[in-house]
Amino acid sequence: MQREPTLENPRDKYPRPPYKRQSQPFPALAGKMDPIPDNGEDTYVGSGRLTDRRALVTGGDSGIGRAAAIAFAREGADVAINYLPAEEEDAKEVIELIERAGRRAFAIPGDITDRDFCEQLVKRAVEQMGGLDILVNNAAYQQTYETIVDIPDESFDATMKTNIYAPFWITKAAVPHMPPGSSIIVTASVQAYEPEAVLLDYAQTKAANVILVKALAKQLGEKGIRVNGVAPGPVWTPLQVCSKPPEMLEDFGADTALGRAGQPAELASIYVQLADNRASYSTGQIFGASGGGGQP
């Protein structure tokens, strides 16, 4: 007798809005969100797709970076994660999950808006893991402002340095260590294609991330290094609760085709696919995951 396939209605798979109004100071912690995001802790099952690979994930303590780090480990990779010292509580959980998957885990806290630290981050990751062949530039900063006149120089500077300067510095330091077959993955955003007015400077940086992917893929193709990006839509991560007014979170993701915010775990398999050698003809591509919106 043929078994019926296991199907899940994507509209009902996770909590739907309205969500509880909430706020946290930057950089925010996943464990204090309501509902707590699904990063794949109890759901992602690996199959050896990244056995003995060596990955560095920025923003690996929470959100999409956390989901990618967990998935990489369960697929057989050793993983180094970068995060801000204030996120240590979340980072410790990720390190434990990586080790529980039987892989080596390395915590490298620090501020990626500092060029010297970016260089040290790559150096430490390479030394600790014995090499590097997956780089995920995922960490990001965003704040909402009604108009361009309201954006303080300090916030604009933090957005540019976190989202544009840091991926450039980190990638520049990493490329000399990455052998043919390596993969670089950049977290862009639906904001690069369908920007919200209140996220003007953040949207600028995400558009720059898209161009980084496309131009760098052309540079590194001859070295056998693939470069791709992921453009998430509204995803339930700590970045949202420390950057948006509580009233904006109530209906977060309600206007998507699926009627809800995405969960980090729903994007993890995309990062695995882009890192996997079997995706060897994908480079310079942006993969969308926005619940029905966006252009990629």
Q: Is 14 one of the catalytic residues?
A: no
Cα dihedral across residues 54, 56, 61, 63: positive or negative: negative
Q: Quick count: other Cβ atoms within 10 Å of Cβ 6? A: 5
CA distance 190 to 199: 11
- Order of all β-strands in the sheet with 226-232: 105-109, 78-83, 54-58, 134-137, 183-187, 226-232, 286-289
Q: Is the peptide bond before 18 cis (omega within 30 degrees of 0)?
A: yes
**Preceding amide of 27 cis, omega within 30:** yes
| The one catalytic residue among 19, 202, 271, 281 | 202
Cα-to-chain-centroid distance, residue 186:
8
The Cα 123–Cα 80 span in angstroms is 12
For residues 160 and 167, the answer to whether their CB atoms sit within 8 Å is: no
Catalytic residues: 202
